[in-house]
Amino acid sequence: MIVDGAWATPDTPLLTQLRNLGVRVLIDSQTWRFADERTWEINKYASLDHRPSVPLDIDDMDSLADFVEADLAWQRKLGADALLLPGLMPEMDDDSGVRALNVATEVAMTSNFSVGMPIVGYLGAHSRSIEIAAALADDSVAAMLSALYVQISPVNPMSDSVSKLTDVIDAILRIERGDTPVISGHLGALGGVLRSLGVSAADAGLGTGETFDARRLLRSPTKKDEESRGGPVGSRRYVSQILRSLNRKQWDALMSIDVMRAYLDCRLTCCRFRTPQDRTEWAREHSLRTRVSEAADLSGLAPSMRASRQVDVLQAARASMVTVNSSLQGNGFESLPVEHVENQLAALQRIMARHTAA
């Protein structure tokens, strides 16, 4: 499990519980945020003991290397089971993501804090110049790492075009085929497609992280309304039948329709003994369990069968979207967008056809 470092302390109940359950933990300090001065306006990052005194800059490699060393020491103190190297998110046409990975890897290979530890590199990439990151597959740096966490921005698998989804998937596959296992960061909505094509893992952010835009996340903090809060009342709920998460208003609309309560029922442990109304209070647990269940279903198949199975999953989701939207419209509610299913299905089929032809 990847734990947000801004919330982690050595005695935090979360880390204690995960250790008791035997879960192996990565600590993510989200270092890329420290390249922007606005991060110091966010308390949970500004309060980190080892935060840099000034924004990180790829051209100041000494300061970056010092921060990497401090971050590795901090992760060891928290009891991380593998070290996640600090990294930077590039602008559209620069290579700061790759350069930061090179610096961090060099520091890790010579640091006492990394002795005997698996090392996971962090590679930030801009979606409009993703070929810069993909070229790393031919680089010797990746071969020195236990795995590579690839984070692309901006990306929105819920509405991105087929061509953009195809470019993102191709880039991640190219890196994976360089023999370094890949974790695709914040691409939970593409998780099934990526795993079906051979990507090792996808970080789904408690099952609800369906988009990622570094620039948007760096905006100055604003007061959030009740619907967008991270607590139980505002938590989004992932619905496996339609391969997307819903906010509280959307979920309540569906649960007000008798036929939808049965159609969208969940039989996993998270929901077995809870009413539809109670389930929004447990949305995070449900989302995580559901995404894990989806991953396990694919992993249980032979690799040659996974892409075809994911096509079946997407086609079933497309049919479910028709059923759901017909019920919503028939009861006076707004329908849900369907492009995420259509575009992911088209992208997957395009890549499968190309591989078959090859």
Write the single-letter amino acid at 155: V
CA angle 26, 27, 33 (to 5 degrees): 135
Structure token digits, residue 168: 């993102």
Residue 175: which of 117, 121, 102 has the closest Cα? Answer: 121
> What pLDDT digit, counting tens, does each position of 127-184 carry?
999 999 888 767 788 889 999 999 999 999 999 999 999 999 999 999 888 778 999 9
pLDDT at residue 207, rounded to an integer: 62
Average pLDDT over residues 311-332: 97
Give the DSSP H or E segment for 297: helix 283-299
Share in percent of the chain as helix, strand, coil (round to 5):
55, 10, 35
User: What gap in Å lies between CA 9 and CA 308, rounded to an integer?
Assistant: 43
- Distance between CA 83 and CA 74 in Å, rounded? 10
Peptide bond into 154 cis (omega under 30): yes
pLDDT of residue 227: 40
Residues 257, 258, 263, CA angle at the centre, nearest 5°?
95
Q: Is the pLDDT assigned to residue 232 strictly greater than 50?
A: no
**What does the alpha-carbon distance between residue 249 and residue 201 come to, in Å, rounded to a whole number?**
31
Q: Answer for the pair 91, 55: CB distance below 8 angstroms, yes or no.
A: no
Residue 227: strand, helix, or coil: helix
**What is the per-residue pLDDT across 81-127, written as a single tens digit (0 to 9) for each?**
999 999 999 988 899 999 999 999 999 999 999 999 999 999 999 99
Looking at the DSSP bridge assignments, the partners of residue 129 are none
- Which secondary-structure segment (H or E) carries 122? strand 119-126
Q: Which secondary structure element, helix H or strand E, spans residue 237, and what is its range?
A: strand 237-239
Using pLDDT thresholds of 50, 70 and 90, give the confidence band for residue 9: confident
Cα separation, 287 vs 273, in Å, equals 16
Chain-centre distance for alpha carbon 259: 32
pLDDT recorded at residue 103: 95
Q: Calculate the average pLDDT of the chain.
A: 88
Is the pLDDT at 64 greater than 90? The verdict is yes
47-80 b/e with 16+ CB inside 10 Å = b?
Answer: ebebbbeeebebeeeeebbebbbbbbebbbebeb
